[in-house]
Chain A
Amino acid sequence: MENIDAVIIGGGPAGLAAAVELWNRGIRNMLVLEREHCFGGILRQCIHDGFGLTRFHETLSGPEYAKRFIDKAEELGIPRMVDASVISVSEDRIVKAVTQEGLKVIRAKAVILAMGCRERTRGALQIPGERPSGIFTAGVAQAYMNLYNRKVGKEIVILGSGDIGMIMARRLTLEGAHVQAVYEIMPFASGLPRNISQCLNDFHIPLYLSHTVTDIRGKGRLEELTVQKVDRDRKPIPGTEIIHKCDTLILSVGLIPENELSLGAGVLLDSGTKGAVTDEHFQTSRKGIFAAGNVLHVHDLVDFVSLEAEELADCVARYLKDKELPECSVSVLPGKGVGQMVPRKISGTEDVTVSLRVTGKMENCTIRVMQNGREVISRKMKKALPAEMIRIPVKADMLDQNGDVEVSVL
């Protein structure tokens, strides 16, 4: 068994940013484990640009963004492996990985979960109907087109208005496919407004809100879909059926943090984010196991993934040095209007940034952080959308060291 100070699971933007920052903090005995043949994670297939505006003050494509971190890891000589799939993490931080060198068993002082997220599928939505081919999640279609040079279809319908779905609508149109429409079950789009503008409106692709696919038909390949308008409870309204003749249905219906390994380690998950419950040091309910990036909560922007991973790395470096991090006994509770939030435990003695999403579209709202009946912070916002993560920095001197903190949006 090998002894390693920090094992990082996942070589995407979160894992690599954490590794580089750990190195900069003087940690050398570490290992990044990546299950794919290349580093970079999902950015490898995100060939569109718009990445890096916050961090690098320029607009990069996904592969270019990843390359900045891959090159840095290379330059520093950070220990890392590709084709290395972690199969288990135990409560006491024994990491088992299948690698090209055989089974690797590592005793880690700190484990960094950076596995990212996966897509919700047709199964998760329970769309009735037949089971023909031609139904893809947006990310799978993106991999086929952008990595493997495969055409996914000619006549396309997209269900879900997530960013990847809209980006694929543009990508498919540019490559000669006909995107008939994008349907969204909610009364608001789940992706960013600029993607509605530049990916749909630019190409005259209609977006229908409060609609969903209610039947799928096809022998072999997809032939026909039924779409219906839904009511406020998201129940299909009879008589509103629209029939689409198409060969491809693309699903962009949400991302879920990839936490099978975390569950195996006994890490407690948050029902809001579907990621680990973490404290302000990104430590999970298991001592020495940390999580950041999309495995913790799904982000809209990779800049915040890499930033969060660096904040995590600073905490892990401290943990490795001091063997202990300050206790976090103050609970942070999501109040009215808050759909999900990170972190859920804080010390009250250190500055912290709370990341949250609102439950629905709001205008002229106020985000309020309360503790012990006292207003800690209130921030007015012209608009707030579930698609946009909101980050609220809170200074330590504004907080008490006991008493729950509640965050609400009114």
Chain B
Amino acid sequence: MKKKLICIVCPNGCEITAETDGSGKVISVEGQSCSRGRDYAVQEMTDPRRTLTTSIRIEHGQMPLASVRLTAPVPKDMIFKVMDCIRKIRMNAPVKSGTVAVRDILGLGADLIITRDVPAEGTEK
């Protein structure tokens, strides 16, 4: 089966054509301009994954939210399950960018890390 993909690894957005055989094995990848594009296409054809960025609720902070992201992509069909899990998280300020909020989220092999500092209410920034 042939499929046209747009590579999402970098802003170049290469148009890649990937082909699989009857067993689902990738037999050809064309159109990418680097090896990461090739890796993306193989991954996308066999086990599509996405990274996720959102935010978590921070209590007693100068901001109500801290932005977060996953350290590795997770299976695409798990994104909404991961969101449900993230939505329940509450942390107390202060929080620091780089802190792990959840280790190995839902056992998917990716950590959820905080991507901005939120100082506690009433403190100097």
Contacts and interface: CB of A to CB of B under 8 A. Distances in A.
Interface of A: 37-38, 44, 47-50, 53, 59-64, 67, 146-149, 171, 174-175, 192-194, 196-198, 202, 300-301, 388
A192 B13 contact: yes
Given A149-B55, A193-B15, 5 more contacts: A37-B125, A47-B116, A48-B53, A49-B69, A63-B97
Interface of B: 5-8, 10-11, 13, 15, 50-55, 57, 63-65, 67, 69, 76, 79-80, 83, 97, 115-117, 125
Nearest to A82: B125
25 contacts: A37-B125, A38-B125, A47-B53, A47-B54, A49-B51, A49-B53, A53-B10, A61-B69, A61-B116, A62-B67, A63-B115, A64-B97, A67-B117, A146-B65, A147-B63, A148-B65, A149-B55, A149-B57, A174-B52, A175-B54, A194-B6, A194-B8, A196-B6, A197-B13, A388-B11
A143 to B, nearest CB: 11
A334 to B, nearest CB: 23
A118 B50 CA distance: 30
Most buried by B among A37, A192, A194, A388: A194
A93 to B, nearest CB: 30
Contacts of B50: 198, 202
B7 A149 contact: no
Contact of A192 (B11, B65, B125): B11
Contact of A146 (B67, B97, B125): B67
B11 A63 contact: no
Interface of A: prevailing SS: mixed
Contacts, number: 77
A61 B67 contact: yes
Contacts of B51: 49, 59
B55 A146 contact: yes
Contacts of B55: 47, 146, 149
The 8 A-B residue pairs with the shortest CB-CB distance, nearest first, are: A47-B67, A193-B13, A63-B116, A197-B6, A149-B64, A194-B13, A61-B115, A194-B8
